[in-house]
């Protein structure tokens, strides 16, 4: 068995800390002064790159060679369960907090908000994006694996999506729930696993300078890009600056160890949901008791991290129990259900 990649855990640990930091009530002038576009804004891109890398490793481990196997019902169901169980528990608290502190929701609204990723504005896009990536990832994986210029193709696809979103005037609420804006980042994670970044070495400085120029132009010089409408700081052009840095860190950080960040990275999915609930309902209430903003931010980090890790240790046995039950269902039974369904459909 391959040894666990501790760098990925550390990267996720850093990313979730950046998510907690970016959701704090910063002024725009502060974000620019502290160069947030160059580091804090890269939180979600880190998650997406790691997602692509980890799933590419999983596909190789399971020897998945075809799209038919990649979309096997048993694999899809297990991935769906892994993402849904932690979110579903957090969503129960989401509804409880909203009903007590805001307003009661109808049954229809509760169902709709579930598939929207929750109620509120902070982080309520993550779950539906991950569900979409379950189905999008195999296509990206085989593009990278089978085509020499697959990464360039994925970049072009991402650019085309941004163009279509602008031309069709897709509203912000819809745009934030669609996974296509992360298409290039997921593909880059696959690329890192497949080629270890070797093919990019001669182009790293070009990517870095291009992304840097875009960030400076849009955030500090007032340039308004014609092809991007929403979330310019994490768009396909801005992240070009970060890709060589992540590739370099992964290549030279194989032996890097940090127990706290590794544990935080393993619990990052749970910490993300905790910070989502905290910032949507409790952050302002807690902030009213804080003597200054620095203390307020520190308390935010401590609450989200400690409660998130506790939630991880509480929820993990639940997910393992559900996954174990699913593992006892052989693939043949999934195929049997498919055959029976087809026979029934032919009768009608």
pLDDT digits (tens, 9 = 90+) for 47-80: 999 999 999 999 999 999 999 999 999 889 989 9
Domain of residue 158: give its range: 6-316
The count of structural domains within the chain is 1
The answer on pLDDT for 104 being more than 60 is yes
The answer on pLDDT for 341 being more than 50 is no
Dist CA 259 CA 248 (whole Å): 21
Instruction: Determine, yes or no, domain membership for 74.
Output: yes
Instruction: Determine, yes or no, domain membership for 344.
Output: no
Instruction: Determine, yes or no, domain membership for 347.
Output: no
The answer on pLDDT for 344 being more than 80 is no
What's the confidence (pLDDT) of residue 330?
Answer: 59
Mean pLDDT of the region 190-213:
84
- The mean predicted confidence, pLDDT, of the chain is 89
The answer on pLDDT for 189 being more than 70 is yes
Instruction: Determine, yes or no, domain membership for 334.
Output: no
The answer on pLDDT for 83 being more than 50 is yes
Instruction: Determine, yes or no, domain membership for 327.
Output: no
Instruction: Determine, yes or no, domain membership for 289.
Output: yes
Q: How confident is the model at residue 321 (pLDDT cuts 50, 70, 90)?
A: confident
Counting beta carbons within 10 angstroms of the beta carbon of residue 174, is it exposed (0 to 12), middle (13 to 18) or buried (19 or more)? exposed
Rounded to 5 degrees, what are φ and ψ at 288?
Answer: -65, -20
Q: How confident is the model at residue 255 (pLDDT cuts 50, 70, 90)?
A: confident
Which of 38, 34, 151, 132 lies closest to 83, judged by CA? 132
Q: What is the pLDDT of residues 141-158, one digit of tens each?
A: 999 999 989 999 999 999
Instruction: Determine, yes or no, domain membership for 106.
Output: yes
Structure tokens given for 283: 């952050």
The answer on pLDDT for 346 being more than 70 is no
The answer on pLDDT for 219 being more than 80 is yes
């Amino acid at each position: 068995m391959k040894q666990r990649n501790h760098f990925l855990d550390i990267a996720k640990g850093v990313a979730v800390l950046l998510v907690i930091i970016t959701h704090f009530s910063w002024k725009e002038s502060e974000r620019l002064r502290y160069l947030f576009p160059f580091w804090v804004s890269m939180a979600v891109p880190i998650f997406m790159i790691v997602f692509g890398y980890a799933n590419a490793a999983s596909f190789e481990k399971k020897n998945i060679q075809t799209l038919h196997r990649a979309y096997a019902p048993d694999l899809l169901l297990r991935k769906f369960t892994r993402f849904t169980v932690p979110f579903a528990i957090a969503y129960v608290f989401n509804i409880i907090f909203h009903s007590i502190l805001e307003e009661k929701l109808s049954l229809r609204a509760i169902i709709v908000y579930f598939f929207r990723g929750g109620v509120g504005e902070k982080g309520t896009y993550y779950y539906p994006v991950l569900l979409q990536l379950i189905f999008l990832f195999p296509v990206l994986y085989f593009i990278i694996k089978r085509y020499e210029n697959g990464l360039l193709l994925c970049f072009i696809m991402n650019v085309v999506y941004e163009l279509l979103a602008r031309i069709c005037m897709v509203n912000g609420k819809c745009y934030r729930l669609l996974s296509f804006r992360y298409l290039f980042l997921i593909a880059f994670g696959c690329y890192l696993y497949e080629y270890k970044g070797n093919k990019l070495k001669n182009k790293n400085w070009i990517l870095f300078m291009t992304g840097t120029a875009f960030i400076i132009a849009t955030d500090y010089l007032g340039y308004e890009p014609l092809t991007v409408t929403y979330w310019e700081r994490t768009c396909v052009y801005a992240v070009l600056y970060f890709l060589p840095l992540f590739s370099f860190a992964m290549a030279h950080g194989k032996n890097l160890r940090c127990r706290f960040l590794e544990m935080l990275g393993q619990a990052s999915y749970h910490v993300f949901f905790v910070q989502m609930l905290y910032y949507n309902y409790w952050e302002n209430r807690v902030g009213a008791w804080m003597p200054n903003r620095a203390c307020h931010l520190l308390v935010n980090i401590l609450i989200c991290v400690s409660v998130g890790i506790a939630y991880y240790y509480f929820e993990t046995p639940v997910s393992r129990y559900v996954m174990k039950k699913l593992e006892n269902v052989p693939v043949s039974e999934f195929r049997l259900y498919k055959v029976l369904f087809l026979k029934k459909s032919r009768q009608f």
